[in-house]
Amino acid sequence: MTVTEPTTVPDTVTALDAARADLRARLLRDGVLVDIGSPGLYGRTGVFERVYGAVDAAAVRSQADLDAEVLRFPPVEPLAAFERTDYIASFPDLAAAVSGFAGDNRDHRALLAARERGERWESFLEPADLMLTPAVCHPLYGLLSGDLPVGGRTFDVLGDSFRREPSLDPMRLQAFHMHEFVHVGTAASARAHRDGRIASIRDTLESFGLEIDVVPANDPFFGRVGQVLARSQVEQSLKYEFVTPVYGPDHPATAIGSANLHEDHFGSAFAIRSADGEVAHSACVAFGLERVTIALFAAHGTDPDRWPAGVRAALAL
Ligand code: AMP
Ligand code: ZN
């Protein structure tokens, strides 16, 4: 019988946790982020915003040749649209809903009495038919039902994303932003968009002085069925991630961007047809803006004025 020493895994986990705690402490101590009392939620200071703005502007410059149509959405989406994305089937643990008070005076008195007793009062709120948007391209597809023009359409979508994954890893936030470049068209044009953007995104992130790998990846599908979905996503090369070793070469690298092929998932859910009469296919590439920003602070320090000249030039800082 072989006895396996149970040392390596726990040690690695502990070292990674320590590295995460270190980075978090440094960002808070040096006044980059502000702790607002809940894991994965932070206030952001001037120095954070300066770098974040520069990252976003550079991301936009890198995709300017797409001449994408600009669209912005609120951080919440109607339940009916959320429903059609099937997100709740795949990621129930990450989803979050908005609720509101819809009661009368009696209900209000009961809420206040519970609050007075120091009890939780959220159970007095009711579902408001609104979900927090988990992926910023989701609200787009509902606008495209019907026929697309020849060549499809390409969009620039920046927005809030909420995922219920509280963590003390400063790279894993609950509320963050993605800048996405989304194409909806034929199977061929969607794939060409996804594949064609990888080089410019990689070059852009590398110009920031970050070490980048592009690797096949899967989304964190929930449960046992989810494991099958995740495996098939990798086997079919539907998702690539731009990863960087924020916590050094001994720990897994973190995704700061992604390039995704949805095939006809959204086309069929939202009844979108490409000009050739087929169900539309879609693809999106995403810059995770906070993750790129924090990866920069981790790689170059918390004072951007002391970053290498080439990095500052690439960011126009
Ligand atoms: P995804 O749709 O999961 O590929 O997410 C797109 C990008 O958003 C990822 O590559 C990350 O850069 C960023 N992202 C995803 N989840 C988080 C999170 N919990 N905190 C911060 N950024 C995230
Ligand atoms: Zn997307």
Instruction: Identify whether residues 126 and 245 lie together within a single domain.
Output: no
Instruction: Identify whether residues 68 and 209 lie together within a single domain.
Output: yes
Which of 178, 194, 242 best tests ligand 1's pocket when mutated (most atoms within 8 Å of CB)?
Answer: 178
Which pLDDT value is given to residue 5?
47
Spell out the residues 6+ positions from residue 10 whose beta carbon is closer than 8 angstroms to its own: none
Are 135 and 178 a contacting pair, CB within 8 Å?
yes
User: Looking at the domain assignment, is residue 4 inside a domain?
Assistant: no
Alpha carbon distance 61, 129 (integer Å)? 37
Ligand 1 atom closest to the Cα of residue 180 is: 6
Phi, psi of 293 (to 5 degrees): -60, -45
Q: pTM of the prediction?
A: 0.95
User: Looking at the domain assignment, is residue 238 inside a domain?
Assistant: yes
Nearest residue to 98 via CA among 64, 116, 74, 117: 74
Alpha carbon distance 174, 164 (integer Å)? 6
User: Looking at the domain assignment, is residue 219 inside a domain?
Assistant: yes
What interhelical angle do 8-29 and 289-300 show, nearest 10? 90
Nearest residue to 42 via CA among 164, 177, 173, 166: 173
Instruction: Identify whether residues 240 and 192 lie together within a single domain.
Output: yes
Instruction: Identify whether residues 69 and 151 lie together within a single domain.
Output: yes
User: Looking at the domain assignment, is residue 6 inside a domain?
Assistant: no
Instruction: Identify whether residues 87 and 189 lie together within a single domain.
Output: yes
In angstroms, what is the span from residue 290 Cα to ligand 1's centroid?
9
Nearest CA to ligand 1 atom 7: 288
Instruction: Identify whether residues 210 and 71 lie together within a single domain.
Output: yes
Which of 291, 296, 297 best tests ligand 1's pocket when mutated (most atoms within 8 Å of CB)?
Answer: 291
Which pLDDT value is given to residue 11?
64
Which pLDDT value is given to residue 138?
97
Are 201 and 259 a contacting pair, CB within 8 Å?
yes
Are 144 and 116 a contacting pair, CB within 8 Å?
no
In angstroms, what is the span from residue 202 Cα to ligand 1's centroid?
16
User: Looking at the domain assignment, is residue 83 inside a domain?
Assistant: yes
Instruction: Identify whether residues 268 and 128 lie together within a single domain.
Output: no
Q: Token match 């970050």: residue?
A: 210
Instruction: Identify whether residues 119 and 256 lie together within a single domain.
Output: no
Task: Indicate the SS3 state at residue 309.
Answer: helix
Q: Token match 């120095």: residue?
A: 47
In angstroms, what is the span from residue 95 Cα to ligand 2's centroid?
16
In angstroms, what is the span from residue 69 Cα to ligand 2's centroid?
15
Count of domains for the chain: 2
Alpha carbon distance 180, 141 (integer Å)? 13
In angstroms, what is the span from residue 49 Cα to ligand 2's centroid?
23
Task: Indicate the SS3 state at residue 100.
Answer: strand
Angle value at C-alpha 185, between 184 and 188, nearest 5 degrees: 120
The ligand placed nearest to the CA atom of residue 291 is 1
Pocket of ligand 1 (CB under 6 A): 135, 163, 165, 172-173, 176, 178, 241, 255-258, 286, 288, 290-291
Which of 33, 90, 137, 161 best tests ligand 1's pocket when mutated (most atoms within 8 Å of CB)?
Answer: 161
Spell out the residues 6+ positions from residue 110 whose beta carbon is closer than 8 angstroms to its own: 124
- Which residue range(s) make up the domain with 165? 11-96+134-315
DSSP assignments along 146-204, one per residue? EEPPTT-EEEEEEEEEE-----S-TT--SEEEEEEEEEEE-HHHHHHHHHHHHHHHHHH
Q: Per-residue confidence of the chain (317 residues) as pLDDT tens digits? A: 444 444 444 566 799 999 999 999 999 999 999 999 999 999 999 999 999 999 999 999 999 999 999 999 999 999 999 999 999 999 999 999 999 999 999 999 999 999 999 999 999 999 999 999 999 999 999 999 999 999 999 999 999 999 999 999 999 999 999 999 999 999 999 999 999 999 999 999 999 999 999 999 999 999 999 999 999 999 999 999 999 999 999 999 999 999 999 999 999 999 999 999 999 999 999 999 999 999 999 999 999 999 999 999 999 99
Instruction: Identify whether residues 109 and 167 lie together within a single domain.
Output: no
Instruction: Identify whether residues 116 and 180 lie together within a single domain.
Output: no
Are 87 and 95 a contacting pair, CB within 8 Å?
yes
Instruction: Identify whether residues 30 and 60 lie together within a single domain.
Output: yes
**Residue ending a domain, choose from 82, 111, 132:** 132
Which pLDDT value is given to residue 15?
94
Which pLDDT value is given to residue 3?
44
The ligand placed nearest to the CA atom of residue 182 is 2
The ligand placed nearest to the CA atom of residue 241 is 1
Which pLDDT value is given to residue 68?
98
Instruction: Identify whether residues 64 and 146 lie together within a single domain.
Output: yes
Which pLDDT value is given to residue 227?
96
User: Looking at the domain assignment, is residue 1 inside a domain?
Assistant: no
Which pLDDT value is given to residue 13?
72
Nearest CA to ligand 1 atom 13: 288
The ligand placed nearest to the CA atom of residue 137 is 2
Are 57 and 51 a contacting pair, CB within 8 Å?
no
Alpha carbon distance 95, 189 (integer Å)? 30
